Structure 1
Amino acid sequence: MSNRKPYVREMKRTWWKDHSFYRFYMLREATVLPLILFTLFITFGLGALVKGPDAWATWLDFMSHPIVILINILALAGSLFHAHTFFNMMPQVMPMRFKGKAIDKKTIVLAQWAAVAFISLVVLIIV
């Protein structure tokens, strides 16, 4: 047995701040935080809907609070930012071909946004 100790490089908690790629990555991953709160708000709203009109009115009052509205706006912005980065990455991760020719990356990204717009419109019409 050897008495040598293995080299363990010191890793600071802020290691990701030194490179722009990692800062962008951390920002992208942080978009989940307001989405978690939004999901909790909606879940409690469903519970209030089940409990009756008084609980529903209380939940609606809660949802009209300026801080909750700000959190919801941040959740929407985070969701759109996450979708933007995912859609831009998609053609690199999964290049598509049609009749042997590569489909332009911009076409793939625009098709994804068109699908989001269409689904959003359908949901808006239904609700």
Structure 2
Amino acid sequence: MSNRKPYVREMKRTWWKDHPFYRFYMLREATVLPLIFFTLCLTFGLGCLVKGPEAWQGWLSFMANPVVIILNLLALAGSLFHAQTFFSMMPQVMPIRIKGKVLDKKIIVLGQWAAVAAITLFVLILV
């Protein structure tokens, strides 16, 4: 046994601020915060819908609050940012091969956005 003390590198709470890659990563991971608010709003909205017309109207008036609208717009922006970073990473993680040739990254990313647009259009038509 040795009496030497092991080297313990000091780790500050703001270690991620020193490198642009980690700042970008932390920003991407922070997009979950407004999405949590959005999910809670939808969950309570469904609960109010079940409780009756008075509860539903109360929820609608809550959702019309400008602060709630801003938070929901932040959630939308965070969701789109998260999707963009995920879609741009997808061709590197899972390259698609057709007849032995790797499909261009731009085509894969545009195909994903086309799928998002088609699903959005379909949902809007249903509503």
* Residue in structure 2 matched with residue 61 of structure 1 by the alignment: 61
- What is the rounded CA distance, in whole Å, between the counterparts of 2:122 and 2:57 in structure 1? 27
Who is 2:116 aligned against? 116
Identity of aligned residues (%): 79
Equivalent residue, structure 1, for 2:99 = 99
Partner in structure 2 of residue 11 of structure 1: 11
C-alpha distance after superposition, 1:71-127 (max 9, x if no partner): 000000000000000000000111110011110000000000000000000011011
Following TM superposition, by how much is the alpha carbon of 1:4 offset from its aligned partner in structure 2, in angstroms? Answer: 2.0
1:39 corresponding residue in structure 2: 39
Give 1:22 deviation, angstroms: 0.3
Shift of 1:31: 0.3
DSSP 3-state at the match of 2:86 = helix
- CA deviations 1:13-55 (Å, max 9, x no partner) are 0000000000000000000000000000000000000000000
Structure 2 partner of 1:126: 126
Task: Give the C-alpha shift of residue 2 in structure 1.
Answer: 2.5
The alignment's TM-score, normalised by the length of structure 2, stands at 0.98
Normalising by structure 1, report the TM-score. 0.98
Q: Distance in 2 between matches of 1:75 and 1:121?
A: 20
Q: CA deviation at 1:6?
A: 1.1
Secondary structure at the residue paired with 1:11? coil
Query: What letter matches 2:94 in structure 1?
Result: M
Q: How many residues align?
A: 127
Query: How many angstroms apart in 2 are the aligned matches of 1:35 and 1:120?
Result: 18
Structure 2 gaps of 5+ residues are none
The one-letter amino acid paired with 1:29 is E
Deviating above 3 A after TM superposition, structure 1's stretches of 4 or more consecutive aligned residues are: none
